[in-house]
Amino acid sequence: MISRSTDKLRFLHTMSVSAHVLRCEPSSISFSADDELPNFDDEVTRASLTAAAHQIKSAQAIGFPTETVYGLGALALDASAAARIFSTKGRPADNPLIVHVSSQRMLRSLLPPTYAPSRSYEVLMKRFWPGALTLLFPSDPSTVPQIVTANHPTVAIRMPSHPVARALIALVDAPIAAPSANSSGKPSPTRAEHVFKDLGSKLSLILDGGPCTVGLESTVVDGLNEDGNIRVLRPGGVTVEDIEGALREEIGEGSKVPRVLVHKRDFQDAAMEATPTTPGMKYRHYSPSVPVTLLYTSTSPPPGMASTTLSDLFASLKTTHAQRPVKVGLLVPSDSRILLQTDEVSGLEFTVFYLGAVSDPAVTAHRLFDGLLTLEERGSDIILVEAILEEKEGLAVMNRVKKAASESQWISF
């Protein structure tokens, strides 16, 4: 059954110069008991996925939905197909790709025959797969092309939970390499429209499975170190608190529960910083084409930095365009104190995109990239994003926002 409004899609179809946007209804897809082959209740969805699988098998790159963000997928084990991902995104060759699998059988086919996952990895896969968690595994260079791993000894793998993504991988019957489906450096797409606008002229096909439920990328975890600890290289859809809870519950008393260490918060790694093995360490990331300023409203500035008032900040923004009102995009929680001071500020025109309540960081995560892309689309001259607490999904939200922002300001009320 197709229930989603098709107005926007019709618009996309008429505008389409190259990419075909094919509709999929995620709820019409189910999987047989062994989790391998998909069943379709809806013929449109079956036809869309069949066409997409055909494109991938022909070594093309296509746009497709996952529960985190839209991906730009191509055959992971075919170096020339994987190369299309890099050229389409303008992605630097030293930034490795995540490989997506739809079954444990497919996972095993990628790993060195002698490798056995640790107890921690077994727990993490049991609790969070399929889902928004990417794990680093030792790579078997005789199987995984070096272009995918960017010559690293490890390969990043995840099993997505989105029915369209799982069905696509299962129909192709081979692992799919997929970064987020955006030009390198831009915010990740959470709707098919975002992919179309950015990469539509470079792709032949985009699957539209509706908005992504998580809204920002998977958590990238390295648990291969000898100390047995879990290192979070990129916070994401699965929270650090959830990972800690799962390890505590499943490994339990008596055995040593691994620690969960977050990069930059709990550990530094100079070698890793020199290579872009997690997003934004070496390259610009998540930035729309307009400047983004991060506003801290409930923490005091670090030593040497002064705070400012909103009225002083707004006064300074007015000077950026003498001839016309300055268009200010506001990406703020729905209960933000900033909103109390935006009425009738002369010379400024506000467009507000709400990030959900302060107490609900999962909603903020879901809306963040959509907000950045929407405010850019609406012609903002500058986007102001309000900081939230770095807890639960807020850790991943702030990781992305700090990288998107060219400047930070501390606001005193």
Name the residues that contact Mg ion, by CB under 5 A.
179-180
Q: Which CB, 280 or 325, lies closer to Mg ion?
A: 280
Residues that bind ligand TXA (CB under 6 A): 66, 68-69, 71, 95-98, 134, 136, 149, 152, 154-156, 178-180, 217-218, 220, 233, 276-279
Pick 83 or 251: Cβ nearer Mg ion: 83
Q: What minimum distance in Å lies between the beta carbon of 71 and ligand TXA?
A: 3
Distance CA 349, CA 326 (A): 6
How far is it, in rounded angstroms, from Cα 278 to Cα 272?
Answer: 8
Minimum distance of Mg ion from residue 163's CB (angstroms) = 22
What is the DSSP secondary-structure string of 189-226?
Answer: P-SHHHHHHHHTTT-SEEEE--S-SS-SPPEEEE--ST
CA distances for 43 relative to 9, 284, 288, angstroms = 18, 42, 37
Q: Under a CB-based contact definition with an 8 Å cutoff, are residues 101 and 157 in contact?
A: yes
- Beta carbon of residue 199, minimum distance to ligand TXA (angstroms, whole number): 13
Q: Decide which of Mg ion, ligand TXA, none touches 65; Cβ closer than 5 to 8 Å per partner kind.
A: none
Amino acid at 338: I
Report helix, strand or coil for 286: coil
Helix ranges (DSSP H) in 131-233: 146-149, 163-172, 192-199
Pairing mode, strands 292-296 and 407-411: parallel
71 binds, among ligand TXA, Mg ion, none (CB under 5 to 8 A by kind): ligand TXA
Q: Closest CB to Mg ion belongs to which residue?
A: 180
152 binding partner (options Mg ion, ligand TXA, none; Cβ < 5 to 8 Å by kind) = ligand TXA
**Do 204 and 19 form a contact (C-beta atoms < 8 A)?**
yes
When the beta carbons of 218 and 380 are compared against ligand TXA, the nearer one is 218
CA 268 to chain centre: 23
**Residue 88 touches which of Mg ion, ligand TXA, none (Cβ within 5-8 Å per kind):** none
* Phi and psi angles of residue 47, each rounded to the nearest 5 degrees, phi first: -65, -40
Nearer to ligand TXA, 282 or 337 (CB): 282
Rounded CA separation 74/83 (Å): 9
Beta carbon nearer to ligand TXA, 68 or 364: 68
In the complex, what is the shortest distance from the CB of residue 197 to Mg ion, in angstroms, rounded to a whole number? Answer: 16
Q: What is the DSSP letter of 191?
A: S
> Cβ of residue 386: shortest distance to Mg ion, in angstroms?
23
To ligand TXA, the closest distance from the beta carbon of 137 in angstroms equals: 9
- Which strand ranges, in their side-by-side order, compose the sheet holding 407-411? 307-308, 407-411, 292-296, 382-386, 326-332, 348-354
- Is cis: bond before 130, omega within 30 of 0? yes
Of 21 and 159, nearer to ligand TXA (C-beta) is: 159
Longest CA span, the chain: 70
Query: Could you tell which of ligand TXA, Mg ion, none binds residue 198, using a CB distance below 5 to 8 A set by kind?
Result: none
Pick the closer one to ligand TXA by CB: 148 or 358: 148
User: In whole angstroms, how close is the CB of 248 to Mg ion at the nearest point?
Assistant: 30
